Amino acid sequence: MSQVWILAAILLPLLAGALLLLRPVENRRTHNGLVMAVSLVTSLLIGGLLLSRPEGTLELGSIHPALTFAFRVDSLSLVFLAILAVLWPIAVLYSFEYMSHEHEENRFFGFFTMTYGVVTAIATAANLFTLYFCYELLTLCTLPLVMHEMDGKARHAGKTYILYSMTGAALAFVAMAAVAHYGSLDFVLGGSLNAAAAAGQENLLRLFFLLGFFGFGVKAAVWPGHLWLPTASVAPTPVSALLHAVAVVNAGVFAILRLTYYSFGTGLLQGSFAQWVMMGACILTIVFGSAMSWRLQHLKRRLAYSTVSNLSYILLGASAMTGAGLGAALLHMAAHSVFKIILFFCAGAILCQTKREYVFQLPGLGRRMPVTFTAFALASLGLIGIPPFAGFFSKWAIAQAAVELNHPVAWLGALALAVSAFFTGLYQVMVLVPAFFPTREQAAIAAENQSFTEAGWQMKTALVLLMLLALAISFGVGGLSDVLSRCAQGLM
């Protein structure tokens, strides 16, 4: 498959989404058919790219000799592209039913579809400049989705999102400028810095790396840049799933992986203060996010802080600065994407059917919405890390990669995983047990919930497909882990 197909996979959803904004389609059936067709064709194009792996780089032009717009598919791209191609059409199917209860569907699906093109561009960016440009474009495409309701809470969420994103962009820009000055912006596994130019400047470059880590770490919800993510949970649930499981947060994680392994390089960072600061920030975020999830009663905000924690699981693996650490990070990235999108879709189905947002309002609903709560239970087991679900194996691999460093900070990382798993078990079980087995004190709430029913076929179909996917990656985790290990080593 020609490199031009990379451009097709980027431009098709971008142009289709823009067309929906400029020329709204009034007939809902036609509108939904168009959006689904674009999503499926884009996923098929990405599937073709994954199978054919076109060699070389597609260059579209430059604004400066060092600043070139270029795209290619490499081993790391494969992982992000596969997650997008599989989950996006399912998210679109779910969104049709959810958004039928909302307003401004054309605007929503216009920006939603454009976002698919932007994250595909991020996944296939061949250099740090292209990634940075598309990364900022992602903020502009998702801001209207965060502010969709346009009420006070949505406006506040939008302001918080843009403020944090701009701050992160400024820090990431400094890191990009440093890479350009001391080497090349092109992504090279092992790092693209010029050894002669960097000689004697190692500590300065490590400081620049940390600026980039915390800059890109805003979208990856690394503390203290995490606050926008739970605030953005006021957006419609498909947007929350987009932000927390598929596109935005994974883009942040992906950018950090590129910065660590393909720009600055682990040779510069291993054993230095930069590695331990990165790892320490991940440890703090893991424990903080899990503890906050346990404390909160609002279901979507609980899941949001769970995302804050789990994203730093991925980055903890990456901070090991080894091939095993990167492979473990990619495995958890894939597992978390599937489990978390299920949980948010369950929260959305509950909200649509019952208008209930808080955990204490849910007793007895498990028997009234069996598909939704079965999906919630399965994803919870995966998120907690109960064998044989993929979440157990990804966490185990991350812990192994950390302890192999035999450093006190790394051992703290392994301990943080155990503490977080304990909190995760608590805050997920606190939803599930009352939903299926309400106590006598909860009997009145359970009686009120008797009037509610399961969501419609589109939401249920999306949840069933995702449950099957979760089971597939869990029971095929050995093969998946091998593939992702090869991707981490640049062998795919």
333 has pLDDT over 90: yes
How many whole angstroms separate alpha carbon 222 and alpha carbon 227?
9
* Cα–Cα distance, 312 to 269 (Å, whole number): 18
Give the H or E element holding residue 320. Answer: none
Least confident of 13-17, 55-59, 88-92, 394-398: 55-59
Q: What is the pLDDT of residue 240?
A: 64
Cis ω before 388 (30° cut-off from 0): yes
Q: Which residues pair with 64 in a beta bridge?
A: 67
Tokens of 288: 């903080």
230 or 33, which is more confident: 33
For 126-135, what is each residue's pLDDT tens digit?
Answer: 999 999 999 9
Q: Is 369 exposed, middle or buried (0-12, 13-18, 19+ CB in 10 A)?
A: buried
Task: Among 4-8, 169-173, 377-381, name the one with the lowest average pLDDT.
Answer: 4-8
Tens of pLDDT along 35-44?
Answer: 999 999 999 9
Rg of the chain taking only CA atoms, in angstroms: 22
* Cα dihedral sign, 321-324-327-333: negative
Q: Is the pLDDT of residue 372 over 90?
A: yes
CB-neighbour burial class of residue 399 (10 A; exposed 0-12, middle 13-18, buried 19+): buried
What pTM did the predictor assign? 0.93
**What local confidence, expressed as pLDDT, does residue 199 receive?**
81
Structure confidence at residue 95 (pLDDT): 87
pLDDT the model gives residue 279: 96
DSSP annotation of 442 reads T
CA distance 246 to 119: 9
pLDDT tens for residues 135-150? 999 988 888 888 877 7
Span 441-474, pLDDT tens digits: 888 888 888 888 888 889 999 999 999 999 999 9
* 259 pLDDT more than 90: yes
d(CA 377, CA 365): 13
pLDDT bracket for residue 53 (50, 70, 90): confident
Dihedral sign (CA 426, 431, 436, 441): positive
User: CB within 8 A of 319, min separation 6: which ones?
Assistant: 260, 275, 278, 279, 282, 325, 413
Half-sphere exposure in the Cβ direction for 12 (13 Å, CA): 20
Q: Which pLDDT score is estimated for 144?
A: 86
Q: In terms of C-beta density within 10 A (0-12 exposed, 13-18 middle, 19 or more buried), how is residue 418 classed?
A: exposed
For the chain, domain boundaries: 270-492
Please state, in angstroms and rounded to a whole number, the distance separating the CA atoms of residues 381 and 395: 13
Q: Is the per-residue pLDDT at 1 higher than 60?
A: no
